[in-house]
Amino acid sequence: MIRELVQSGFRLSGTRDARLIRGLWWSIAEGLFTAAPYPLLYLLLTEVFAGSVTPVRALGYGLAMAACVALRIGAGRIGMPLVFSGAYAMMGEARLRIADHLRKLPMGWFGKQRGGDLSARLTSDLELIEHLWSHFLGVFVSGLAMPAFLVLFLCWIDGRLALVVLAGIPLALLALAWTQRVAAHPGTRMIAASAAAQSALLEYVQGIAVIRGFGRFGEIWKRLEVVLGEHHDALLAVETKPAPWLAAYGFLLEIGYVSLVLAGAWWLADGTLEAPTLLVFLVLALPVYRQLFEVGLSTMMLRFARRALGRIEGVLYEAVLPEPAQPKIPRGHGIVFDKVRFAYEHREGAAVVLDGVSCEIKADRLTAIVGPSAAGKTTLVHLIARLWDVDAGAIRLGGVDLREIGTDQLHQHVAMVFQDVLLFSGTVLENLRIGKPGASRKDAIEAARRAQAHDFIEALPQGYDTMLDEGGASLSGGERQRISIARALLKDAPILLLDEATASVDPSAEAEIQRAIAELARGRTVVVIAHRLKNVRYADQTLVLDEGMLVEQGTHSELLSHGGLYSRLWARQQEAQNWRMGMSTHDSLPATASAAQPPLVRHRADKV
């Protein structure tokens, strides 16, 4: 089992740290030096019972025992740091490897995972493996080596008594194996319950504002109680169900010691065994059985470690987006969709998000993507960034299929700004440099100016060196959005993808950002998702999606002249410009309109 654990660790980290192996060998040496005083004690007792011991020889035995203790301490001082450093280094490599693997997975995989389960794999499971490698593995190996050396020594002293010592161990091991089998189902239940508890707690904490706002505290609390109750029951089961069999394992070991006492007394009585030999066996059998019981307890923890390793390796076995053996370099920045079909779930009856989309997004032009909700606008932009692969058809950048361009190469060409802004823990400047780590402070500040973010950043306690809370929680939604836009501007990629990038900014800043985007569009391919058509009416071309299909494309004036979906959307938004919030539904509206609209649903145009 130890060998399997170490081999699994090597697979997980993708490397073999020699320090860990050397540390384990030193742990075996520590076990040897732990067992070494007992043979010396046997020799001393032999001479004592024979009456041949002298003070000098007794002192020599004492010094030899002291030397064994010193060597044991020395082996531990050398071995344990090696185990710790090797284990931590391997776990560091494992975490980096997992993080890099997650970066390459299709985004759809994350949508199928429960947040708590994935979090448990990346935190508690990894921490368990790290703890076993660093704090447990060396001690376990040393603890297993010590009784093994003692048993060999006992076999050398007296084969009959050694067989008595060993006779009960196979039965004890059978009980231990059954204990592990009994613990298997509760262990699986506990892991599932732990993941469910983490998911429920995460959902509860993240939804506190909604829960309080809608007065659903009692119901949500009851749901949380049920999940945590199941977690409590699972923890009890994993401890209590194997307990009787674990006690049986310890009982059988104790029976072995009782058998040793009885057999030794019998042979001592008939004169076939000497008293010093029996005394040594009685003294040495106790640490043998004690260590074997501790090892048995440890194997229960190792079984959990195997499950944790399996869950973590399961992440690494997930298929990543395929990478080309020889990545091709795009010849330009024009984007072509060729009969693209895509669905988030690959099963019969799953909804198709994009179906037969063919279009050209010309290089160095501003292209707008518009349409009703759930038309497939965001999916289309995400496919350009290759967050997923298409199910059918192809997307070509500069004449090259995205699947033939390496991920790293593709991301050098693309910068993205999404509606849901994610800021990382760190300074404002570090967040701006996410896409261009080597950017100068001056360039970062200039990008912030163009995104209308400089003034509020300067007003922060340490300006650009202000540490942001997790997710940028200390900033408003508009401020986070402008930082996101600034880092996209700083990256200065030839292709810019904007998903309603100005949705969270105030009208005055929106006008400035629109001008910055217009300047950025010169010499670049810009794709903008917009719900407010007035913001993109000057786009070089507009693609209109509806129910996953491209239904119209052209300039603003061309689309208006067609009288299709775009024209209807434009008319509705123009009509909405006259809406305003009021206490009465009859103010400033025709009678038919006021009758059709409920109170408090009319807004000013700048709020639509």
Q: What is the pLDDT of residues 214-253, one digit of tens each?
A: 666 667 777 788 888 888 888 888 778 888 888 888 888 8
pLDDT at 509: 58
Domain with CATH 1.20.1560.10 in the chain: 2-316
pTM, to two decimals: 0.65
Helix axes of 55-104 and 18-35: crossing angle, nearest 10 degrees: 150
Residue that wins the pLDDT comparison between 442 and 348: 442
Instruction: Give CA angle at 236 (235, 237), nearest 5°.
Output: 90
Q: Tokens in use for 66?
A: 């002291």
Segment among 291-295, 437-441, 594-598 with least mean pLDDT: 594-598
11-50 burial: b if 16+ Cβ within 10 Å, else e:
ebbeeebebbeebbebbbbbbbbbbbbbbbbbbbbbbeee
Segment among 74-83, 128-137, 323-332, 391-400 with least mean pLDDT: 128-137
Q: Which of 305, 288, 271 is nearest to 125 (CA)?
A: 305
pLDDT at 217: 63
Q: Tokens in use for 510?
A: 């929106």
Q: Are 12 and 94 in contact (CB under 8 A)?
A: yes
pLDDT at 601: 30
Q: How far apart are CA 423 and CA 420, in angstroms?
A: 10
Q: Taking 70 as the threshold, does the pLDDT of residue 486 lie above it?
A: yes
Q: What are phi and psi of 144, to 5 degrees?
A: -80, -35
How large a percentage of the chain has pLDDT more than 70? 85
pLDDT at 530: 82
Q: How far apart are CA 143 and CA 162, in angstroms?
A: 19
- What would the mean pLDDT of 412-423 be, rounded to a whole number? 81
Q: Which residues pair with 554 in a beta bridge?
A: 542
pLDDT at 95: 85
Q: Taking 90 as the threshold, does the pLDDT of residue 358 lie above it?
A: yes
pLDDT at 151: 86
Exposed/middle/buried for 238, CB within 10 Å: 0-12, 13-18, 19+? buried
Residue that wins the pLDDT comparison between 597 and 158: 158
Q: What is the pLDDT of residues 53-74, one digit of tens each?
A: 788 888 888 899 899 899 989 9
Q: What are phi and psi of 400, to 5 degrees?
A: -115, 130
Q: Taking 90 as the threshold, does the pLDDT of residue 338 lie above it?
A: yes
Residue that wins the pLDDT comparison between 44 and 370: 370
Q: Tokens in use for 167?
A: 């006779």
Terminal Cα distance for the chain, rounded:
64
pLDDT at 195: 74
Which CATH number is 335-557 given?
A: 3.40.50.300
Topology annotation, domain 2-316:
ABC transporter transmembrane region fold (1.20.1560)
- What would the mean pLDDT of 418-437 be, rounded to a whole number? 83
Segment among 125-139, 391-405, 512-526, 536-550 with least mean pLDDT: 512-526
SS3 345: coil
Q: How remote is the C-alpha of 416 from its chain's centroid?
A: 23
User: Mean pLDDT, the chain, as a whole number?
Assistant: 80
Q: Which of 528, 522, 457 is nearest to 487 (CA)?
A: 457
pLDDT band at residue 587 under the 50/70/90 scheme: very low
The number of C-alpha atoms within 13 Å of 107 and in the hemisphere containing its C-beta is: 11
Q: Tokens in use for 584?
A: 């009465």
Residue 568 CA: distances (Å) to CA of 11, 329, 571, 573? 58, 41, 5, 9
Domain with CATH 3.40.50.300 in the chain: 335-557
CB contact set of 474 (below 8 Å; sequence gap of 6+) = 468
Q: How remote is the C-alpha of 462 from its chain's centroid?
A: 32
Q: What is the pLDDT of residues 527-542, one digit of tens each?
A: 988 888 887 888 889 9
Segment among 44-58, 100-114, 414-428, 522-536 with least mean pLDDT: 100-114
Residue 382 CA: distances (Å) to CA of 93, 375, 389, 538? 30, 14, 10, 23
Q: Taking 60 as the threshold, does the pLDDT of residue 596 lie above it?
A: no
SS (H, E, C) 445-492: HHHHHHCCCHHHHHCCCCHHHCEECHHHCCCCHHHHHHHHHHHHHHHC
Residue that wins the pLDDT comparison between 255 and 108: 255
Full strand arrangement of the beta sheet holding 366-370: 414-417, 495-499, 525-529, 366-370, 541-546, 549-554
Q: What is the pLDDT of residues 155-173, one digit of tens each?
A: 888 888 888 888 888 888 8
- What would the mean pLDDT of 77-106 be, rounded to a whole number? 85
Q: Taking 90 as the threshold, does the pLDDT of residue 395 lie above it?
A: yes
pLDDT at 590: 41
pLDDT at 396: 93
How large a percentage of the chain has pLDDT more than 90? 8
Q: List, as one string, the DSSP characters of 348-380.
A: TTPPPSEEEEEEEE-TTSEEEEE-STTSSHHHH
Instruction: Give CA angle at 403 (397, 408), nearest 5°.
Output: 80
pLDDT at 597: 35
pLDDT at 67: 93
Residue that wins the pLDDT comparison between 593 and 426: 426
Segment among 96-105, 172-181, 296-305, 525-534 with least mean pLDDT: 296-305
pLDDT band at residue 514 under the 50/70/90 scheme: low
Q: How far apart are CA 358 and CA 336, in angstroms?
A: 7
- What would the mean pLDDT of 164-190 be, rounded to a whole number? 82
Q: Taking 80 as the threshold, does the pLDDT of residue 1 lie above it?
A: no
